[in-house]
Amino acid sequence: MNVSPLENIVEELKTLPPGRLEVAADFVHRLSRISEEERKAILARTFGSLSAEDADAMEKAIEEGCEQINEHGW
């Protein structure tokens, strides 16, 4: 029977004590994060995708709905 690398990893993870499992989880999380270069490429692809009207509407909505301080709301 041919077992996939993922299945091998899962089986090995099942044998780890909780502390080592947390270390493994942190490592996997770091591996799965996208790199700075990938983030810049994503931003470059989406740059300019909003029309001027859409950008103005978004800016207005942010100013009206988000830039308010409610001193009694905290």
Q: Is the per-residue pLDDT at 67 higher than 70?
A: no
| Calpha distance 25→42 (Å, rounded) | 26
- pLDDT tens digits, residue range 20-52? 999 999 888 888 788 888 888 888 888 888 888
Give the per-residue pLDDT at 74: 55
The answer to whether 27 and 16 are in contact (CB under 8 A) is no
Backbone φ and ψ for 69, nearest 5 degrees, come out as -110, 125
Query: What is the model's pTM?
Result: 0.43
Q: Where are the domains of the chain?
A: 36-65
Sequence letter at residue 28: V
- pLDDT tens digits, residue range 1-21? 788 999 999 999 999 999 999
| The two structure tokens encoding residue 36 | 């700075």
